[in-house]
Amino acid sequence: MVYTLATMRFFSFLVQINILWIGVDHMYFSSKIKEERQKHNMSQQQLGEKLNISRQSISKWERGESYPSIELLIKLSDIFDITLDELVKEDNSLKEKLIKDSQKLVYPRWKLFFDILLIIGFLIILAKIFIVLGNKLFDLNIVFLQDSLLFQIGPFFMTIIGAIGSESLAQKYK
């Protein structure tokens, strides 16, 4: 396929626009943090000390190489007396990072819930097995909740729901 000079220039132009667009997106937070730090007459070292982090971390933020955690963003908004929205509103990459971080905070709670549900269901099933074996082998007459429909199928459903929930969360938040 042969491209004309005009076509090549057009593609080059599109690539440059894309680079500029990506750069603007990534650079909003970087320039905002530097602007606010300078407006408050702080060095990177002083800001790092207020946040209990290194000067190098501040430098990486200002160069667009990394982003702070949500806890540090909240501290930054307090230090600079600006809203979180003002700090992150134009930076889509930072917004995506915050959304991903917040999902990771929710994940352990739900994972723990489903794991506990699985374990409790499994323990009740084991207890039922021991009760049945004890009644058959040792002529024990344990009738603990044997007539209850909930006791009959509840542990099975608890185990299934716990296993499915735990596994689906593990797959979703890999």
pLDDT of 141 strictly over 70 = yes
pLDDT at 145: 66
Number of domains in the chain: 2
Nearest residue to 68 via CA among 81, 52, 82, 83: 52
pLDDT of 121 strictly over 70 = yes
DSSP state at residue 173: T
| Same structural domain, 113 and 70 | no
pLDDT at 134: 84
| Same structural domain, 10 and 80 | yes
**Overall residue count recorded for the chain in this entry:** 174
- Return the minimum-mean-pLDDT range out of 57-66, 81-90, 118-127, 141-150: 141-150
- Mean pLDDT value across residues 40-50: 93
pLDDT at 87: 78
DSSP letter string, 61-96:
HHHTS----HHHHHHHHHHHT--HHHHHTT-HHHHH
Q: Global pTM? A: 0.47
CATH number at residue 32: 1.10.260.40
Indicate whether 151 belongs to any domain.
yes
Average pLDDT across the chain, whole number:
78
User: What CA–CA distance (Å, rounded) separates 22 from 69?
Assistant: 21
Range of the domain at 148: 106-172
